[in-house]
Amino acid sequence: MSIDCINREPLDEFIKNNLKESRYIHSLGVEEMAVRLAEMHGADTDKAAFAGRYHDLAKNFDNETMDAYIRKYDLPEYLLGNNALAHSKVAAAILENEFGVDDEDVLNAVRYHTTARKDMSILEETIFVADVVEDNRTYSDLDYYQQLAYRDLDQACLEILEYTIRSLTTKGKEIDKDTLEARDWVLNKIKETENGK
Ligand code: DGI
Ligand code: FE
Ligand code: FE
């Protein structure tokens, strides 16, 4: 079933009821940026809008609720108690099982929006980057990352991944295998594109 056929009303209710105000505004910002990037880089704009709006629908769950969903949908144990990594996997499971989304590309864009992964589709890269560069973000280099994202989606992915890896390393946090594989993959993709020029 195409995402055009999904009834968006209960989904919009869901995010209004489950997200803090600022997170709700962020979600609409990611939707807008995802459409902009999709137009520039050739992803499906309807899928980008959909994945952008709902990517963080599980972000504000308390630990108990998140863990219950992880168990309900048989997601891996390492996600228990780890909101940062769990919210994207749980959001994809909820979209699939409770709202009838069966578009694998949309589901993967939501599922991997935090860590990224190797072999990402253009839609997955679009959502991964839009999440970081949407207009409501407030960090000082926002303008640099937005211009980079408009110009070169792969390079934006690479620089965001390198920043994430550096920042998690500084904080002594474990880096997800998908994040490291995504960095190696996109670096290699950029090199191959350059060699092909
Ligand atoms: O949900 P958002 O705040 O919009 O953004 P996000 O889904 O990218 O989540 C960002 C958080 O995820 C941030 O606290 C860093 C964390 N994160 C990203 N990659 C990894 C990670 N945490 C761990 N432990 N390992 C990762 O590879
Ligand atoms: Fe997120
Ligand atoms: Fe987000």
Distance CA 133, CA 113 (A): 13
Distance CA 129, CA 34 (A): 8
Res. 195 pLDDT band, cuts 50 70 90: confident
> How confident is the model at residue 1, as a pLDDT?
76
Those residues whose beta carbon sits under 5 angstroms from the ion ligand 3 are 56, 131
Res. 196 pLDDT band, cuts 50 70 90: confident
Distance CA 127, CA 88 (A): 12
Q: Is the CB of 84 under 6 A from ligand 1?
A: yes
Tell me the CATH number of domain 3-196, given options 1.10.1200.10, 1.10.3210.10, 3.40.50.300, 1.10.3720.10. 1.10.3210.10
DSSP 19: S
Judge whether 133 and 146 are in contact, CB under 8 Å. Answer: yes
> How confident is the model at residue 197, as a pLDDT?
65
Judge whether 61 and 69 are in contact, CB under 8 Å. Answer: yes
> Stretch 51-66: mean pLDDT, rounded?
98
Mean pLDDT (the chain, rounded): 97
Q: How far is ligand 1, taken at its centre, from the CA of residue 166, in Å? A: 13
DSSP 78: G
DSSP 67: H
Res. 33 pLDDT band, cuts 50 70 90: very high
Q: Is the CB of 115 under 6 A from ligand 1?
A: yes
pLDDT tens for 153-171 read 999 999 999 999 999 999 9
Q: Is the CB of 180 under 6 A from ligand 1?
A: no
Q: Which two tokens stand for residue 33?
A: 């940026």
Q: Is the CB of 89 under 6 A from ligand 1?
A: no
Asked whether the predicted pLDDT for residue 135 surpasses 70, the reply is yes
Give ∠ CA 69-181-48 in degrees, rounded to 5.
60
Q: How far is ligand 2, taken at its centre, from the CA of residue 111, in Å? A: 9
Res. 85 pLDDT band, cuts 50 70 90: very high
Distance CA 152, CA 36 (A): 13
